[in-house]
Amino acid sequence: MKRMTSLAIGTILGATIFPLQAQSADDAMPYQSWVGGFAEYYNADGDKPDPLGYLEDGHGIGAEFGFRFKPRWGVRLEWSELDIDTNAQRLGSRAPNNAGNRIGVDAMYFTPNDALYLFAGIKNETIGESHRLANLGLGKHWQVSERWRVITEAAVYHDFGEGFRDYGIKLGLAYTFGGDAPKAPKITTVDSDGDGVQDSLDACPNTPAGLAVDSRGCNDDHDGDGVSNAQDMCSNTPKGTAVGKRGCSLVLDSDQDGVLDDADQCPQTPITDKVDAVGCSVFVEQSVTQRLNVLFANNSSDIGNPDDPQFQAFATFMARFPNTSAVIEGHTSAPGNADYNQSLSERRANAVRDLLINQYGISAERLTAAGYGETSLLDDGNSAEAHAMNRRIEAVVSATQKVKVQK
């Protein structure tokens, strides 16, 4: 039973740990009071009562009434009728009637958004004899409709007088009332300018009658060419001009770029390109970069994987931008003699340079090898991970290219 109670507590916590992380502490009170009934699985301490210790597992039914005087805090009165099994091997034919009851009160704390509640209280239990108990537990009210909740609970009970410890799991149903019921937002349906968009959503409340509008209640065709603003790529077409499906002139603007043919110096501009005042595509300079990062084994300048795709990517980039050059920077970790580390870093840089020249076809004049020894550590730590990170090659090559600006 102890294992079942731990499982029940874990299930309630698992079902509520995500809501606990996501909720605010300033929630309204979803209900103020509740009444409920429940069925209970109850495990009495095997040493109870003295001196025979004949009680075992059992079950019960009960009722409760709760009241929340703050969104987080409440109290509850609980009553349960119990029927506990006996250990027949200990008692034989002397087994007594173990029906009894438990009654008491709990203080309750509700976590944000009612993800779960914690409770502690005092109970009086009568099974064969009277027992005064302190209890501690957790539970959750699972909402199934506006007013109804399913009750799940797990608790442990400690006997003040004898040190006995009982456990219980509860499943029930509660009806809730009172509290801060959610209110429907007040919605206005007034449309003062008659454009089909109600005033509460209308960003242009004085639209002239008969004018086509968008979802915000504003003019949906600024230049009046019959093409909505969302589709119009030439939003300032002269009034009366015949236009295509993109809203650009068919007669005066053959490539539909918004510049009339008599002023268009680039008459075949793609319709998706942004153009300048003479109808030519607008370009911007864009910086592009390719990096190379190679790690080495301790005290080694051997390249572990010369077929690594990053070498080919680096070579392809330099072939695409033939005016670029790169410095292959070699580095070591801190341990060891500084002069030796300097020499080792140079060997590593030259090993990568030779690979890029001999296997990947990059011109030797475009690559320079430089060793920096232990002077540029990435990690100052004295761990194996730090040393591995510092044993490296770094190379960066950058270029600029012209890119079209899209509409």
Average pLDDT over residues 34-53: 84
Domain finish residue from 147, 177, 207: 177
**What is Dmax (Cα atoms) for the chain?**
115
Please check whether residues 48 and 173 belong to one and the same domain. Answer: yes
How many domains does one find in the chain?
A: 2
Q: Of 162, 177, 192, which closes a domain?
A: 177
Does residue 73 lie in a domain region?
yes
Answer with the residue of higher pLDDT: 60 or 396: 60
Supply the pLDDT for residue 50.
65
How much is the pLDDT for 94? 55
Are residue 171 and residue 293 in the same domain, yes or no?
no
What residue numbers bound the domain in which 165 lies? Answer: 2-177
Domain presence at residue 238:
no
Q: pLDDT by residue (tens digit) across 68-85? A: 999 999 999 999 998 888
Report yes or no on 235 lying in a domain. no
For residue 193, is it within any domain? no
> Tell me, what CATH number does 367's domain have?
3.30.1330.60
Q: What is the mean pLDDT of the chain?
A: 80
CA separation (Å) from 401 to 275, 280, 300, 320?
A: 18, 18, 38, 10
What is 108-156 written as a DSSP string?
EEEPGGGS-EEEEEEEEEEESEEEEEEEEEEEEEEESSSSEEEEEEEEE
Cα distances from 187 to residues 183, 184, 194, in angstroms, run 12, 9, 17
pLDDT tens profile 256-297:
787 877 778 887 788 888 888 788 877 666 677 788 888 888
Flag whether 35 is in a domain: yes
Question: Per the domain annotation, does 18 fall within a domain?
Answer: yes
CATH value at residue 51: 2.40.160.20
Q: Would you state the pLDDT for residue 88?
A: 62
3-state DSSP assignment of residue 99 = strand
As a residue count, the chain comes to 407
Q: Are residues 133 and 16 in the same domain?
A: yes
What lies within 8 Å, CB to CB, of 288 at 6+ separation is 317, 321, 398, 399, 400, 401
Q: Say what the pTM is.
A: 0.41
**Which tops the pLDDT comparison, 20 or 297?**
297
Tokens of 52: 């025979």
Question: Is residue 120 within 8 Å of residue 134, measured between CB atoms?
Answer: yes
How many other C-beta atoms lie within 10 A of the C-beta of residue 50?
10
Quote the CA–CA distance of 376 and 367 in Å, as a whole number: 21
Domain boundary among 146, 177, 208: 177
pLDDT digits (tens, 9 = 90+) for 118-135: 999 999 988 877 889 999
Domain assignment present for 243: no
Coil vs helix vs strand at 295:
strand
Instruction: Kindly report, residue by residue over 343-401, the tens digit of the pLDDT.
Output: 988 998 899 999 999 999 999 988 888 888 888 788 888 888 888 887 888 877 777 77
Q: What confidence score (pLDDT) does residue 354 get?
A: 93
Segment (H or E) for 86: strand 73-86
